[in-house]
Amino acid sequence: MRVNYTLPGLLTSEAPSSEPVRPGDSPFRARLGVVPAPRWLNWRSLLRLDEAPENAATIGPPPRPDGGEFGDAATQRMIWRQMLDRQVAAFEASPDEHRGDAQAIERMLTLLMRFREAEDEIASRHLAEAEG
C-alpha cells in the first residue's frame, strides 16, 4: 500500500490563462500554480478522517531489501564471524590510523569478541543437546 502525504484538494494546478502576459514579466510568472478551492463539503473529509484508519492488519510488512537474502542461522553466523575477523585484522594491521579512538575501538572489538564466544558456547551447547 502506498501512503499519499498530499491533500488532493490543495494540490496546485496550472495557472489559468485568463491573465494576459504583460511585457516585461518573467517566464516564471506564467508557470506559477494556483491553489483551487477544495471540493469537499467539510474538513473531516478533506483530512480523510471519515475513512477507516490504517493499522498493522491493513498494511503489509515492508519489502525485503535486494541482496540481503540469508537462508539460515549458520550462514548468518558465518558472515558475522568473517566480518568481525576482518575488522579485528584491520585494526591490528594499522593501529596508527586510530590514535585518538584506539581505546574505544579496542573495547568495542573486545566486547564483540566476547559476544561471539558466548554465541559459540550457546550454539555448541544446543548441538550437544540435540545429539543426545
pLDDT in tens, 51-100: 877 777 777 777 777 766 666 777 888 888 999 999 999 988 887 776 77
| Residue 15 pLDDT grade (very low, low, confident, very high; cuts 50, 70, 90) | very low
Name which of 54, 58, 10, 61 is nearest 36 in CA terms. 10
Q: Reduce the DSSP state of residue 14 to 3 states and report it.
A: coil
Residue 28 in 3-state DSSP? helix
CA distance 85 to 113: 9
| DSSP reduced 3-state for 66 | coil
Q: How far apart are CA 107 and CA 127, in angstroms?
A: 30
Residue 84 has which C-alpha cell?
Answer: 568481525
pLDDT at 62: 78
As a whole number of angstroms, the distance between CA 124 and CA 119 comes to 9
Q: Is the pTM of this model over 0.75?
A: no
Give per-residue pLDDT as tens, 91-121: 888 877 767 788 888 899 999 999 999 988 9
